[in-house]
Amino acid sequence: MRAISFRYATAFIILCTVMPQANSVAENDFKQWMQQQQNEFQEYKDLRDKEFTSFLQSQWKEMKILSGVKRDPAPKPARIPVAKPVIKTQPRTVPDATRPQARPVPVVKPKLVAVKKPPEVVQKPIVKPVVVSVPKGEVASFNFFGQSLAFYYDPKMKSRLSGRINEQAISQFWSALSKSDYDGLLEQINKQRQPLQLSDWSYALLINELAKTIYNNSKNEEALFTWFMLIKANYQARLAFDNYKVFLLLPTQQRLYSQTYFTFGGKRYYALGMDGNKAKPGKVFTYNGEYPRADKVLDMSMSQNLNTGANQQSRKVSFIYNRKSYNIDVGYDKNTINYLQTYPQMDIDQYFSSRVNASVGNPLLTQLRNIIKGKTEEEAVNILLLFVQNAFKYKTDQGQFGEENYLFPEETMYYPYSDCEDRSVIFAWLVRSLTGLEVVGLDLPGHIAAAVHFSTDIKGDSVRYKGTTYVVTDPTFINARAGMMMPQYKSAKPKVIKFNAL
C-alpha cells in the first residue's frame, strides 16, 4: 500500500509541475494566434484602403447630374370650400290625424368611443458624453439638436485638401484618414445610437456635425470626412466634385423628391445637403464603384424619434363645436423642428407612417381626449375633423414655402399654416391615437384626404379597401362631417395610403 501511495504521490507531483508549464505554453500559443489574426485583419483592412486609394486616382468620369423628381403636378386649390351646415329636422310633436301612424323605428344605441388614455409624458433624458477608458487625441465638443456631445479623435484625421479639387487630392484625403485611428472614433459614435435613438439619417447627421467641428465648417472637408466615416460604418456612399465643391452622394431606401441624383446600376445616389438645403451641382466628376462590405442603404423612415434636447414651446388655437368655443394649447419642441427641417421630401406614405414625439403629442391628446370623452364614434371623429379644419390656418406649400413641402405632425403644430396632406396626416394620427379606429389616407389628383372605418354604418361617401369600408373624412373641407367628399372629387378614384404609425 505504501509503494502504491508513493507512486500516486510522485505522479501527482509531476502532474502539478507539468500542467502550469503546459498551460503557459498553450496561453502563449493562443496569444500568438490572436496577434496573427489581428495582423492578418489589419493587413486585409490596409489592403482594402490601399486598393481603394489607387482606384480613386483613376476611375473618375464626367457626368451630368439628373434633376430631382417632382410630385403630383396637379395644382392644389388656393381657397378651400366650406361645407353647408347639417340641419337636423325636428320630429313632429302633434300627430297628423289624417294619416295612419307608422310603427316606431327601433332605437339603435350608438357605440361610444373607447378612448384610450395616452401614455404618460416622459421627460427627454439628457445624453451624457461618451466615456472612453483611455481618453486620447483631441476632443470635439458640439451641440446636436439640444444634446451636448463630446468625442475624442485622432489628430491625424484632421486632414486637409491639398491644392485644387481633383481625383488626386481626394485619393490623398482617403489615404490619410485610412491611416488614422478612425475605429476608436467610430466606436464612440456607435455607442450613442441607443441613447440618442439614432435612425440612419440622424446617424449621418451626427457624423456631419462632428465633421463641422473638426474642420471648422470647411464644407469640402466636411463632405469628405462624412463620406469616409459612413463608408467605414458600412454605408454606401460616393462623391462627386466640380472645380469648387465636393458633393456627398447617398442612396436611400425611400424615393426622394426635388433632390438631384445620379443613377448607378438602377440605384439612385442623391446629392444630399445635410442642413436641409438642396445641393445643385451641374456637370461633375464621379466614380462608379463600391468600397468592399459597404452595402447598407440609408433608411429614411421616421420609425423612431431622435432624442433631442428639450426646448418645449406652444401656441394657442381654437375651434367651435356645438356652439361652444374650445381653446387648445398646441405644443412643439424647437429642437425637434430643427431636426425635421433637415429631412428631404419623401412620398406621402412616409408621413402617415411617422411617429409623433410623445413629449409634444401627449399634451394635445390629453386636451382633445377630454372633449370627445363619452361621445359616439361618429361624433368623436367629427369633433376631431372640426378641430383640424378650423384650428389650423390653410395655405398651400407654394404660398408658405415657395415649393411643395410635406409636413410631419410636429411641424403642423409649429408652422402658422398647413395644407391638405399636412392636415390629413395629423388628423389620421389623432383619430388612431384617441379612438383606436382604423384610418387611411386618400391620394387624389392635387389633394390628400383621409377615411375612417367605423364599427357602425355611416351614411355618405366612402371607399372600399381590402374588403373594408372607409368613410371619407376630409380635414381640409371646412365644417365637413364624416361621409362628405369635396364636390370636385366625388367622381375621382383615390389611391389608398396605409396608416402605419403608433
Q: DSSP letters along 62-107, please?
A: EEEPBPPPP---SPPPSS--BPPPPPPPPPPSS--TTSPPPPPPPP
DSSP for 168-236, written as a single string: HHHHHHHHHHHTS-HHHHHHHHHTTHHHHT--HHHHHHHHHHHHHHHTTT-HHHHHHHHHHHHHHTTB-
Kindly tell me if the per-residue pLDDT of 69 is higher than 80.
no
Partners of 496 in the β-ladder: 442
State the average pLDDT over residues 73-97. 56
CA 9 – CA 239 distance, rounded (Å): 74
Q: 109-113, 137-141, 326-330, 409-413 — which is least confidently predicted?
A: 109-113
- Of residues 260 and 370, more confidence is placed in 370
Q: Residue 434 — pLDDT band, cuts 50, 70, 90? A: very high
Per DSSP, 132 falls in state: P
Whole-number pLDDT of residue 50: 87
State the average pLDDT over residues 275-293. 81
The gap from C-alpha 143 to its chain's centroid, in whole angstroms, comes to: 20
What percentage of the chain carries pLDDT values higher than 70? 77
Can you point out the beta strands (E) in 206-342? 238-241, 246-250, 256-257, 261-264, 267-271, 283-287, 312-321, 324-333
Residue whose cell numbers read 489581428:
38
Q: Whose CA is closest to 303, among 346, 273, 261? A: 346
Backbone φ and ψ of 422, nearest 5°: -65, -45
Q: 151-160, 208-217, 281-290 — which is least confidently predicted?
A: 281-290
- Of residues 255 and 120, more confidence is placed in 255
Q: Residue 283 — pLDDT band, cuts 50, 70, 90? A: confident
Q: Residue 14 — pLDDT band, cuts 50, 70, 90? A: very low
Whole-number pLDDT of residue 349: 95
Do residues 419 and 444 make contact, with C-beta atoms less than 8 angstroms apart? no
Do residues 472 and 484 make contact, with C-beta atoms less than 8 angstroms apart? yes
Whole-number pLDDT of residue 209: 97
State the average pLDDT over residues 107-115. 55
Segment (H or E) for 7: helix 2-56
State the average pLDDT over residues 427-434. 97
Q: Residue 116 — pLDDT band, cuts 50, 70, 90? A: low
Kindly tell me if the per-residue pLDDT of 492 is higher than 70.
yes
- Of residues 122 and 455, more confidence is placed in 455
* pLDDT per position as a tens digit, 159-173: 888 778 999 999 999
461-472: b or e for each residue (b if 16 or more CB lie within 10 Å)? bbbebeeeebbb
CA 420 – CA 418 distance, rounded (Å): 7
CA 91 – CA 97 distance, rounded (Å): 15
State the average pLDDT over residues 258-287. 83
DSSP for 337-390, written as a single string: HHHHTTPPEE-HHHHHTPPPPHHHHHHHHHHHHHHHTT-BHHHHHHHHHHHHHH
The arrangement of strands across the sheet holding 261-264 comes to 60-64, 283-287, 238-241, 246-250, 267-271, 261-264
Segment (H or E) for 43: helix 2-56
Domain map (residue ranges) of the chain = 1-56, 61-67+123-287, 312-497
Backbone φ and ψ of 400, nearest 5°: -90, -40
Q: Whose CA is closest to 359, among 307, 316, 406, 417? A: 307
Do residues 342 and 276 make contact, with C-beta atoms less than 8 angstroms apart? yes
What is 312-497's CATH topology?
C8orf32 fold (3.10.620)
Mean pLDDT of the chain: 83
Whole-number pLDDT of residue 161: 85
State the average pLDDT over residues 1-12. 38
Q: Residue 31 — pLDDT band, cuts 50, 70, 90? A: low
Q: 88-92, 178-182, 392-396, 406-410 — which is least confidently predicted?
A: 88-92
Do residues 382 and 400 make contact, with C-beta atoms less than 8 angstroms apart? no
Question: What is the gyration radius of the CA atoms in the chain, in angstroms?
Answer: 31
State the average pLDDT over residues 6-25. 43
> How much is the pTM?
0.83
Q: Residue 2 — pLDDT band, cuts 50, 70, 90? A: very low
Q: 54-68, 201-215, 293-307, 471-485 — which is least confidently predicted?
A: 54-68
Kindly tell me if the per-residue pLDDT of 447 is higher than 80.
yes
Kindly tell me if the per-residue pLDDT of 371 is higher than 80.
yes
- Of residues 465 and 27, more confidence is placed in 465
Q: Residue 86 — pLDDT band, cuts 50, 70, 90? A: low
Q: Residue 305 — pLDDT band, cuts 50, 70, 90? A: very high
Kindly tell me if the per-residue pLDDT of 132 is higher than 60.
no
Q: Residue 58 — pLDDT band, cuts 50, 70, 90? A: confident
Whole-number pLDDT of residue 350: 95
Whole-number pLDDT of residue 188: 96
* C-alpha cell at position 487: 364636390
Kindly tell me if the per-residue pLDDT of 38 is higher than 60.
no
CA 263 – CA 285 distance, rounded (Å): 14
Partners of 330 in the β-ladder: 315
* pLDDT per position as a tens digit, 350-361: 999 999 999 999
Kindly tell me if the per-residue pLDDT of 26 is higher than 70.
no
